[in-house]
Structure 1
Amino acid sequence: MRIEFIAYESMGVRAMSTFVETKDMLIYIDPGVSLAPRRYGLPPHEIEIRRLEELAQKIYEKAKDSEFIIITHYHYDHHDRGLRIPLDIYDRKILCIKDPLNNINYSQKIRSSVFLKLVKDRVRSIEICDNRIMRIGSLEMIFSEAQPHGHDPRLGYVIQIFINDKENTFLYTSDIEGAPLEQHIDFIKRSSPDIIVMDGPLTYLLGIRLPEEMLRRSVQNTIEIIEKVNPEILVLEHHILRDKDYKERFKEVFNKAEEMNTKILTAAEFMGQENMFLEAYRYKLFGKEFKEGSYEEHDEATE
C-alpha cells in the first residue's frame, strides 16, 4: 500500500484529500479543497489562493487516475461541485458515498442532492457505503456506520474508512474532530491500523464551538487510541492544525505517543514536505500582529 496525502492543513489549505494505491485498486478519498473565508477578521491571502489552485490541480490529476472515489461527507473541503476540480474525475469511476438520505443534516442533504445530480451520469456506479465491507482481490475496505461530525450531530455525520491490503493497514477518520465520542474511537480500536490519519479537535474555537469538556475527552480518547492500538504512525491533521498552538493543546497526547513509540506527524511531514500552516498564521501573511482574543470569536468555521 502506498499512501499519498495530497491536500491538508499542513500543506496550506482546508482538506483531507488522500490517494491510496494498492495492487488491486487505486482509491481517492475526499477530492475537495477550500480555504477559510475569514480568519482573524481577514480574507484568504493571495499566497493561500495560489496554494489552493496548485493543490486543486494536484487533486484533479491524482483523482483522474483513480478507479474508486470515496466521499465521506458533503462539506466543501471534502467534495467539489466542479468549481475548482473538474467533474471528469468521476468519469467511469466507482463512487462510494456517505448515505445522502439517512443520518444526515439538512445542509448536507441539500448539498448531496446537488452533487449527485452533477455526477450520476458520469460514474460507473454509486455505492452507499455506510457500515459496509467491500472486498476486491486481496483488498478489504471497511466503512464505519454514520458518526457525528465531532461532538455535535447538528454539523452532520461522516464515515470512517479502514483499508487493509494484507501488507499494511490504514485508517482515515474523516471529520470526527478529535474523537470526543466513544463511537468514534470504537471503530478505530476494532480496526487496529498501522497508520491513522486523524482529524483533531477545533482547538482554535475553544470556548466558542469547542467546549473545554470536549477537548478533555478528545485528549483522553486519543491517548486511549495510542495505548490500545499503538499505531506506528498517527497523522494528526485538519481542524487542529488551524491552531498555531496545537502542540501545546495536545501536549499530553504527544507525551503518550513518545512513551509508546508512536510517531505523530502532519500530512506534510509524512510526505517529506515542509509544513505550511497558512491559515493558522494568516495574520502574519497580512503583516499583522496576533492579539489573543481579538479575532478568534469572529472566525468563519462554516464548511
Structure 2
Amino acid sequence: MNKSKLSFEPLWADSLGAKTTCTLVETPEVKILIDPGVAVMQPSFPASWPKKFYWKGQAMMKIKGASRKADVVVISHYHYDHYTDFDKSLYDGKLLLVKNPNEFINDSQRERAENFFNNICENFGNTKLDEVLQEREEKEYEDPMEELPHAREMDFGDYNSRREELLEKWRKRYRKRVENWKSSKWIPELKFDDVEVKFADGQEFEWGRTKLRFTEPLFHGVEFSRVGWVVSTVIRRYRQKFIHTSDLDGPTIEDYADWIIDEHPNALYLDGPATYLLGFMLNRINLNRAVENAARIVKNSRSRLILYDHHLPREQKFRERTEKLWETAKEKRKKVLTVAEYLGEEPVVFD
C-alpha cells in the first residue's frame, strides 16, 4: 500500500509468540489501533514459559507505544487477546469503537464487558457502571441462519444429519442467550471528558477521506459458536482498502468468505482456524471448510497481500493442515504470509 495514503502495521502476532492481532492503521486523517490486547500462548506451544511471557511483554510494549499515536481504538470483542482490561493509558484521550456488549454476546464476554465498562466509568467518569445502566427497549431476534444462505445450502454428505442435529441444539442455546440479553440492563455508550465509547456493530465513521466501517456481529467460528460474536473492521481511503477480520476462524462460514471476496480489499489480515485444537474444539469438517474458504479468498479476491495469522501458527503442523491455501497462493502468485514472514522472520513455533 502507498504509505502516504493508507498504511498498516501489525504490532505483534501469534507467529511472533503471543496471541494477538493488534494492528495500527494510519491515514493522513486518523490513526486507528485495532484490538489492543495480548495473551500468553497455551501450554502445548513448544517454548518455555519464560519465553512465552517475554513475548507477551514485548507485544504489550509495542501496543502501548502505538496507543500513544492512536486517535481511535477498536475492540472487536471481549477476549483478552483482543482488548486490555484495564490500562487507562491505552484509552486516555481516545474514541473507543467497541463491540456492543448488550446483544450478540455470550455470558462470559458480557461479564468481561461489564467489568471493562465499569473500569471506564471509574477511571474516567468518577462513577460506576451500575449508576448509568439503562432499561432495555423490547426487541425480537431472528434465527441467524437466515443471514447465512451459502452455509445453509452446503452439502456435507454423511455429516448432514449430524450437522442438523447440532444446529438445532445450538439454536436452542442461542434462544437462551437471547433471553439473557433481554433480561439484562442496557450498558449505554459513554462520554466523559477524556474518553468516548461508541458501539461499532454495523456502524460507519468518517474522517475526511478515511472511511471506517464495521460489519454486523459475525460468529466467532462456526454457526452459533459457543465463544460468541465479533465485528470485523473495514478501512478505506480512496481506492485503498484494508480489512481486519478479527476472529472468524478461517473463516469457517462460507458467507463470510463471500463477503470478503466481494469487498476486494487491497490488503487483508485474515485469522486462521485453530489447528492446534483439531480433535478437541475443531473437527475435520470445519477445518476443511475453513481451508476451502481461505483458498477461495486467495483465488478470487484482488488482495495483493494477505496476512494469515492468529489461531493458526500455534502448532508446528499448521502449514500441512492448511496446505490447499498455500498451494492456491503459489498457483495464483498471491502474497500470503504470516506476520512473522511479513516482517522477514520465521514463525517462532518452528524455533
Report the TM range for the smaller structure's normalisation. Answer: 0.7 to 0.9
Counterpart of 1:299 in structure 2 is none
**Take 1:191 and 1:99, find their aligned partners in 2: how far apart are those partners?**
23
SS in 2 for 1:65: coil
Amino acid of the structure 2 residue aligned with 1:170 = F
Amino acid of the structure 2 residue aligned with 1:146 = P
- Structure 1 residue 80 and structure 2 residue 84: aligned? yes
Q: How many residues align?
A: 275
Counterpart of 1:92 in structure 2 is 93
Specify which of 219, 231, 235 is matched with residue 148 of structure 1: 219
Structure 1 residues 27 and 191: alpha-carbon distance in aligned structure 2, compared to 1, 3 A threshold? same
Deviation at 1:268, TM superposition (A): 2.0
Q: Which has the higher contact order (CA 8 A, sep 6+)?
A: 1
Deviations 1:62-115 (A, max 9, x none): 112200000000000111113xxx321211210000110110000000101111
Amino acid of the structure 1 residue aligned with 2:73 = I
Counterpart of 1:292 in structure 2 is none
- Structure 1 residue 199 and structure 2 residue 200: aligned? no
Deviations 1:116-163 (A, max 9, x none): 111242653111111112221000112111011111521010011111
Question: Map of 1:284-303 to 2, 5 A cutoff?
Answer: none
Deviation at 1:7, TM superposition (A): 1.5
**Take 1:55 and 1:210, find their aligned partners in 2: how far apart are those partners?**
27
SS in 1 for 2:202: coil
SS in 1 for 2:303: coil
Structure having the higher helix fraction is: 2
- % identity of equivalent residues: 29
Deviation at 1:188, TM superposition (A): 1.1
The two structures, once aligned, show a CA RMSD in angstroms of: 1.8
Contact 1:199 1:237 survives alignment (8 Å)? yes
Amino acid of the structure 2 residue aligned with 1:260 = K
SS in 2 for 1:154: coil
Counterpart of 2:204 in structure 1 is 133
Amino acid of the structure 1 residue aligned with 2:28 = K
Question: Map of 1:53-72 to 2, 5 A cutoff?
Answer: 53-72=57-76
- Structure 1 residue 20 and structure 2 residue 25: aligned? yes
Deviations 1:35-69 (A, max 9, x none): 135226x9951112122112211111111220000
Deviation at 1:167, TM superposition (A): 5.0
Contact 1:95 1:126 survives alignment (8 Å)? yes
Contact 1:74 1:112 survives alignment (8 Å)? yes
Specify which of 36, 41, 50 is matched with residue 41 of structure 2: 36
Question: Map of 1:97-108 to 2, 5 A cutoff?
Answer: 97-108=98-109
What is the TM-score when the length of structure 1 is the normalising length? 0.86
**Take 2:39 and 2:48, find their aligned partners in 1: how far apart are those partners?**
10
**Larger-Rg structure:** 2
Q: Which runs of 5 or more residues in structure 1 are unaligned?
A: 285-303
**Take 1:271 and 1:135, find their aligned partners in 2: how far apart are those partners?**
30
Amino acid of the structure 1 residue aligned with 2:205 = M
